[in-house]
Amino acid sequence: MADVAELLVADHPPAAGCAAVPAARPVLKERGQREVFCGLTGIVWMHRKIQDAFFLVVGSRTCAHLLQSAAGVMIFAEPRFATAIIDERDLAGLADANAELDRVVARLLERRRDIRLLFLVGSCPSEVIKLDLSRAAQRLDKAFAPNVRVLNYSGSGIETTFTEGEDACLAALVPEMPAGDSPSLLVAGCLADVVEDQFRRLFETLAIPVSFLPPRSSRALPAVGPNTRVLLAQPYLANTMRALERRGATHLPAPFPLGVEGTTAWLAAACDAFEVPRARLDAAIEAPARRAAQAIAAHRPLLAGQRIFFFPDSQLEPPLARFLARECGMRLTEVGTPYLHRAHMQAELDLLPDDVVLSEGQHVDNQLERCRGENPDLVVCGLGLANPLEAQGIATKWAIELVFTPIQGFEAAGDLAGLFARPLDRRARLRV
């Protein structure tokens, strides 16, 4: 893999109709060794969301261990994911992997009559032996129709970082969505049920017809068509959005719903698209926005003025950085992101301070060197980097925790600030 770091200029086009778009922001492009989980990790939060789905990873014992340790505390009697192990015989080409997969799937569906949607999830080993999971899914789909729908996507570490597994999964669902012509809002991206319910109530108050992708049941896939407007709830859904656009839907550019400012702007984008007067939005959010601002203010004394460095892990980094800088008073040093989707991220980039270093892609050694040079108060990074940095006296926050935890919307804004205040508080106490 190329081992280069180049300073390039982001080539994002100005948003249509926005005269105040600042000049292109420089982005440091990194290409080197990566230190992130693979896309299989998304199963840990997605299996709880689509309640009649099952994720069958076609992978190795390593993949099974990753899932078990990531989902550790969540293992229960009838988990909604498993790994079909590709063993040495499969890797050596001695066994018919397709026949074995068919046997495993038949056994699983016989035992688990509650499964309505089965995902065959590709991994590094299934890619290495060139097992065609899309053909396998078509074959099994025919065999088990109409009781079970069988789809596939890849969560392999060769192709995906940990949040891209969700993107691949949702993109696989899009062709299954029924066609619909009615004007409607689609919120795309996994949200905790409690957050989804809060947003649903807000959109109902605003009289905006809304549905969510993924739905809680695979039999309740929302309709999509030329009158569908899409708000992304997560910043890592490039392929999902592309698939929705192919079905005629339109993306609504907006900051992501983190903090008071992000949530307000995100809702405002929907109001603009559905011609809801601003006064109606202001009235609907007055109380929750006030509560959120108060909850954030409680954490501000610990956060204001503290310097934070983001390693690239989840693609959530730019919106988190914007929230921490503008609502919590933190000072940004470097904001890394594994990928920077300029069209989806432009509204966030416009809100970041001019002097922040933005980096895209990974080169762990270079980034560690810059991080140590900055000597920040707090570092957001993967689990693998957290221990060494803590040993060097730098407080850390695990990037993956920000994907598992409900952090979107007004009611979670105080908790989101608290997630960053806690490690600083802990370090301050240790020093005392």
Question: 67-74 — which CB contacts under 8 Å span 24+ positions?
Answer: 67/40, 67/43, 70/37, 70/41, 70/44, 70/400, 71/43, 71/44, 74/44, 74/48
Among 115, 123, 170, 236, binds ligand SF4 (CB under 6 A): 123
Give Dmax over CA atoms of the chain in angstroms: 68
Give the span between the Cα atoms of 428 and 432, in whole angstroms. Answer: 6
Check residue 140 for interaction with ligand SF4 (CB under 6 A): no
Check residue 382 for interaction with ligand SF4 (CB under 6 A): no
Check residue 337 for interaction with ligand SF4 (CB under 6 A): no
**Nearer to ligand SF4 (CB atom), residue 123 or residue 240:** 123
Q: In whole angstroms, how close is the CB of 391 to ligand SF4 at the nearest point?
A: 26
**Nearer to ligand SF4 (CB atom), residue 126 or residue 228:** 126
Residues 6 or more apart whose Cβ sits within 8 Å of residue 244: 174, 186, 188, 224, 228, 230, 251
**Nearer to ligand SF4 (CB atom), residue 123 or residue 359:** 123
Check residue 174 for interaction with ligand SF4 (CB under 6 A): no
Among 71, 105, 120, 124, binds ligand SF4 (CB under 6 A): 124
In the range 63-122, which residues lie near ligand SF4 by CB under 6 A?
63, 66
Residues 6 or more apart whose Cβ sits within 8 Å of residue 248: 224, 225, 226, 228
Check residue 163 for interaction with ligand SF4 (CB under 6 A): no
**Nearer to ligand SF4 (CB atom), residue 67 or residue 389:** 67
On the question of a cis peptide bond just before residue 146, with omega within 30 degrees of 0, the verdict is yes
CB 58 within 8 A of CB 133: yes
Q: In whole angstroms, how close is the CB of 361 to ligand SF4 at the nearest point?
A: 18
Give the span between the Cα atoms of 373 and 356, in whole angstroms. Answer: 15
Give the span between the Cα atoms of 338 and 41, in whole angstroms. Answer: 16
CB 223 within 8 A of CB 177: yes
In the range 14-73, which residues lie near ligand SF4 by CB under 6 A?
38, 40, 59-60, 62-63, 66
**Nearer to ligand SF4 (CB atom), residue 165 or residue 319:** 165
Please give the residue whose beta carbon sits closest to ligand SF4 in the complex.
157
**Nearer to ligand SF4 (CB atom), residue 83 or residue 333:** 83
In the range 141-160, which residues lie near ligand SF4 by CB under 6 A?
156-157
**Nearer to ligand SF4 (CB atom), residue 52 or residue 127:** 127
Check residue 131 for interaction with ligand SF4 (CB under 6 A): no
Tokens of 10: 């982001």
Residue by residue, DSSP assigns 141-190 as: HHHHTTT-EEEEEE--TTT--TTHHHHHHHHHHGGGSPB--S-EEEEES-
Residues in contact with ligand SF4 by the rule CB under 6 A: 38, 40, 59-60, 62-63, 66, 123-124, 156-157
